[in-house]
Amino acid sequence: MGRIRSERRRASEPTGQSSAGHELRSSGRAHCQAIERRMSYTLTTPLYYVNDRAHLGSTYTTLACDAIARYQRLCGERVTFITGCDEHGQKIQRTAEAAGLTPQDHCDRVSEGYRELWRRWQISNNRFIRTTAPRHRELVEQFFARVEASGDVLEGRQQGWYCVACEEFKDDPHEAQDPECPIHRKPLEWRDEVNLFFRLSRFQSQIEELIRRPGFIAPASRQKEVENFVAQGLRDFSISRVDLPWGIPVPGHPGHTFYVWFDALLGYLSALLQSDPTAAAGSVDGEEGPVDLDQVLQRGWPAQLHVIGKDILRFHAVYWPAMLLSAGLPLPERGFGHGFLTRFGHGFLTREGQKMGKSLGNVLDPEVLLKRCGRDAVRWYLLRDIPFGEDGDFQQQRFSDLVNNDLANTIGNLLNRTSTMARKWFAEAVPPAGDAATSSHALAQAGSQAVEQFRQSMNRLEFRPAAEAILQLAIAANGYLNERAPWSAMKQPGQEEQVGQDLYAVLEASRLAAVLLAPLLPDLSGRMLEQLGLQPFESSKPSPQTGGWLDALSWGGLEAGQTLPQPQPVMQRLELNGPL
């Protein structure tokens, strides 16, 4: 962060308690009160910066949040799933000017692209906030008034090297010669201006206590990064810019507009005051709430989970909680900083140590992935192969191999061939269960283990072992089917009853796998259940069948005599001709 060289003064005299008196215990009381009023499970993606259209990294984050949202709905929670776009700042202004557009026209085009892409990916968000919305501006003004009244706004001079792409001052020394951003590899710009500052330094002890709380920052590696940053001593940070027209004007401070991060973080609050298109008619969430900061406590705040990329974890784990403490609002329960996808590299969206970029020709376009590979394939690869919270490496051959081996062969073909045999030998219906419906059956035990591992993993946001639990159940069912060899046993006199029980067990294991797939791969889950003559689960919005998914996790849910439709491949093999 750039240095502040001149003496600061309060931008306004505080009215009421100063921020030095704020303690986490007072926030804790507000938090408990908010929990009592909680109406939903609230989670957020970052608000994506509209300097360009969506990329694979933003798609990965959004798909992961979608899986969490679907899982929570299936568990009976009423979910508020927030995403949206961060649309202010100098970078946006320059990008628009370079394209011959007004900043607003540019933002309209890019944000609509995000909306449309998420629609095509069937993302189940029920809030989409744009920071250029007039109602968002009203809420920002209300929040600022609280922070200023707490005595946490100062005026001072900001000097330092600034990255427009990051919208952040860097720590390069003043005497540095031609420094560049290590992330974007672009020259830094020298800034020397009078800004408004948020008194972050006054929250040193509170933030230290907060980030040590188990589970507040995950995974553990990210927590250590934040602890190291805070241990260096928190410095006040700029919350305004001067002579930057593309931003929200700071009330009472002519010439100042809000720094993009101060503005954008508040989108998590203003989004809660939007109407929920999935809410019941006449409900509170079904109507747009008044722009009243206190109302966020009635409409889903505090959030249970912020999912962000590791490069913006500092803003969410340090700056954001301090801002909320200053405004007297409860803190989010948890922040999860995930890693980055790479292509033939490690770290950021990189190749050969550089971020993925058009000039390098190594960009993975989420629209191309969707068109050529489909939702199921991409969701499975990203959630099953990339450890959530760590950096990932996108490898096309491994992508293709995993999709074909796991989904088309191990899971899909198991259901197809078992259903075919059951229809042929048992009047196109599910065979009698017999002993296969008991909890002591080998596949029933495998199913119980899969359910336990899946739920524990999803509760910990560990998609990889959750997906592995489903795959292992399918592997066990394939092994059981091959061992029992019903195609041979059916030729032996008196074996029909046992063959029926064996086929029932494998069909039931396939049903259970389909149920577990519902939050991760809702399309494939639906096709599998339909092939078993069952209804898919609704996970994109509140369902009247409360508890139905949880009940379906029990062994023996498939009814004998249930008509089995004509089998169709539930997952086509992925054949990629040429690089993505």
Condensed to tens digits (0 to 9), the pLDDT of residues 152-167 reads 999 998 777 878 777 7
Report whether pLDDT(175) > 80.
no
Res 184: pLDDT: 67
Report whether pLDDT(469) > 60.
yes
- Amino acid type, 431: P
Regarding beta strands 341-342 and 392-393, do their DSSP bridges make them parallel or antiparallel, or are they unpaired? parallel
Confidence band of 379 (pLDDT split at 50, 70, 90):
very high
Relative orientation angle of helices 414-425 and 496-517, to the nearest 10 degrees: 140
- Amino acid type, 481: L
Alpha-carbon gap, residue 497 to 164, rounded angstroms: 72
How is residue 480 written in tokens?
Answer: 């059981």
What's the helix, strand, coil split of the chain in %, to 5? 50, 15, 40
User: Domains of the chain (ranges plus CATH)?
Assistant: 3-338 (3.40.50.620), 402-551 (1.10.730.10)
Alpha-carbon gap, residue 238 to 261, rounded angstroms: 10
CB distance 267 to 84 below 8 Å:
yes
DSSP for 28-96 reads HHHHHHHHHH--SEEEEEEEEETTS---HHHHHHHHHHHHHHHHHHHTT--EEEEEEEE--SHHHHHHH
Query: How many CB atoms within 10 Å of residue 25?
Result: 9
In sign, the C-alpha dihedral spanning 325, 329, 330, 335 is: negative
- Amino acid type, 410: T
- Amino acid type, 149: A
Report whether pLDDT(198) > 50.
yes
Number of H helices, E strands in the chain: 21, 18
The position carrying tokens 């809702």 is: 522
Report whether pLDDT(21) > 70.
no
> Average pLDDT in the 291-317 region?
92
- Amino acid type, 575: E
Report the chain's mean pLDDT, rounded to a whole number.
87
Confidence band of 352 (pLDDT split at 50, 70, 90):
very low
Res 69: pLDDT: 97
Res 348: pLDDT: 40
Report whether pLDDT(20) > 70.
no
Res 361: pLDDT: 60
Alpha-carbon gap, residue 243 to 93, rounded angstroms: 12
How is residue 104 written in tokens?
Answer: 């607003």
Q: What is residue 155's DSSP assignment? A: E
Res 248: pLDDT: 97
Report whether pLDDT(51) > 70.
yes
CB distance 520 to 467 below 8 Å:
yes
Distance in Å from the first CA to the final CA of the chain? 39
- Of the listed ranges 30-39, 104-113, 132-141, 284-293, the one predicted with least confidence: 30-39
Report whether pLDDT(34) > 70.
no
Alpha-carbon gap, residue 87 to 85, rounded angstroms: 6
Residue 543 burial by Cβ neighbours in a 10 Å radius (0-12, 13-18, 19+): middle
Non-local CB neighbours of 220 within 8 Å, separated by 6+ positions: none
Q: Which helix (H) or strand (E) holds 261?
A: helix 260-265
Res 76: pLDDT: 93
How is residue 419 written in tokens?
Answer: 């259903």
Ramachandran angles phi, psi of 563, nearest 5°: -65, 135
> Average pLDDT in the 89-116 region?
95
* Beta strands in 349-423, from DSSP E residues, in sequence order: 350-351, 354-355, 392-393
Report whether pLDDT(423) > 90.
yes
pTM over 0.85, yes/no = yes
In sign, the C-alpha dihedral spanning 437, 442, 445, 447 is: negative
Report whether pLDDT(82) > 90.
yes
Res 10: pLDDT: 52
- Of the listed ranges 213-217, 280-284, 497-501, the one predicted with least confidence: 280-284
Regarding beta strands 153-163 and 189-198, do their DSSP bridges make them parallel or antiparallel, or are they unpaired? antiparallel
Alpha-carbon gap, residue 373 to 95, rounded angstroms: 31
> Average pLDDT in the 246-260 region?
94
Res 25: pLDDT: 44
Residue 556 burial by Cβ neighbours in a 10 Å radius (0-12, 13-18, 19+): middle
- Amino acid type, 488: S
- Of the listed ranges 39-53, 112-126, 301-315, 342-356, the one predicted with least confidence: 342-356
> Average pLDDT in the 2-26 region?
41
Report whether pLDDT(58) > 70.
yes
Alpha-carbon gap, residue 466 to 457, rounded angstroms: 5
Alpha-carbon gap, residue 74 to 254, rounded angstroms: 50
> Average pLDDT in the 217-231 region?
90
Confidence band of 390 (pLDDT split at 50, 70, 90):
confident
Confidence band of 338 (pLDDT split at 50, 70, 90):
low
CB distance 548 to 515 below 8 Å:
no
Res 357: pLDDT: 53
Q: What is residue 298's DSSP assignment? A: G
The segment with the largest mean pLDDT, out of 18-22, 388-392, 557-561, is 557-561
Res 22: pLDDT: 42
Task: Report helix, strand or coil for 541.
Answer: coil
Res 396: pLDDT: 87
